[in-house]
Amino acid sequence: MSMLDHTHDATALSWVASANDLSTDFPLQNLPFCSFRRAGTLEPFRVGVGIGDQILDLTGWGIIDMNALMARSSGERRALRHRLFDTFKAGAPEVELVPQAEAEYTLPCRIGDYTDFYTGIHHARAVGKLFRPDSPLLPNYQWVPIGYHGRSSSIVVSGTPLRRPRGQVKPPDADGPVFKPSARIDCELELGLFVGPGNALGEPFSIDEADEHAFGLTLLNDWSARDIQPWEYQPLGPFLAKNFGTTISPWIVTMDALAPFRIPFARPEGDPQPLPYLDSAAHRANAAFDIEMEVWLKTPGMVEPARLSRSNLRHAYWSLAQMLTHHASNGCNLQPGDLLGTGTISGPAPEEAGSLLELTAGGKHPLTLPNGEQRTFLLDGDQLGLRAFAEKPGYRRIGFGACDGAITPAS
């Protein structure tokens, strides 16, 4: 269980001046990890820690492999956090840093496997109403964490352009499908959970042991081709409508950094309660998280991006611990660096929708942007960005960095 300690002290300052800026994503209390190198060089990518607008290269600390770091126990990871905190706190000797403006990033670790869950019940209901108005939620949704195995090879780091995919599309009034570029490219507002220490094949773990297997969170945009998706997803689920690209932030915010923002996990009154293997008193006490999440759009005709929606991880119907526990409950062996997406996190209000599919009611109600342009789905040249942060009285605000991508014309 992540615990509060001196590294969460809101009054603690750093000798790195930019880390003391109240608007920074990376104050002394955050200390997220990344894989980086100096831009424009052929240097190997190295494990780094963000502090303000700078990066500390951990090569000199003997940390040269992110996956090996993720495999460490929670106690070892917490000890490293304490050491980093002491290195950066005000009064400590200054060490050499690399400005983030001079760095380029790759994926933060080797992602062996990627599973995308469907934990946003408001998203599930809104999408379900478009296709099944009388019964938007499928019968199993409130009983089992729904997920599918995605493709890890097409996960890209923030800033990587993505080509508009081609696929089979079948209009409702057509006799058969056609193969063409997707005209309904959408975003999905998600967080990604990176697995820390894994479990052996055939050996599940309990809900109260799940925190030991969680390393940290990153922003995640599961791009979707909404006109390809309905034709292909039955009977086996998402396929080419999803695997053409998934964008993540280069930064991993650790579970220890997020400890102040834990909140109780509770189901709405009258809903089915989780089965015993997904429930415990400790889990109900603090398994949810208060993390604000936003969608921003910048078209080629805009000077500044516009915020399309804002939601919160507290709206997730299944917790991060439940995702982990259920995934391993059949003996599946999770491994350090595996990535679990939360699914689209939408809130109950229309302006809290985490996808264009919801915001435009399936394309029926275009969004009008500040410059007068309208969008139902993304056009070529559009830049879509996700942002997230956690804040609470008495604690420093911490953020997740950028998760940006642009859609380019189909090949």
Active-site amino acid positions: 123
Q: Measured between alpha carbons, how far is residue 54 from residues 49, 191, 266, 305, 400 in Å?
A: 8, 24, 39, 25, 15
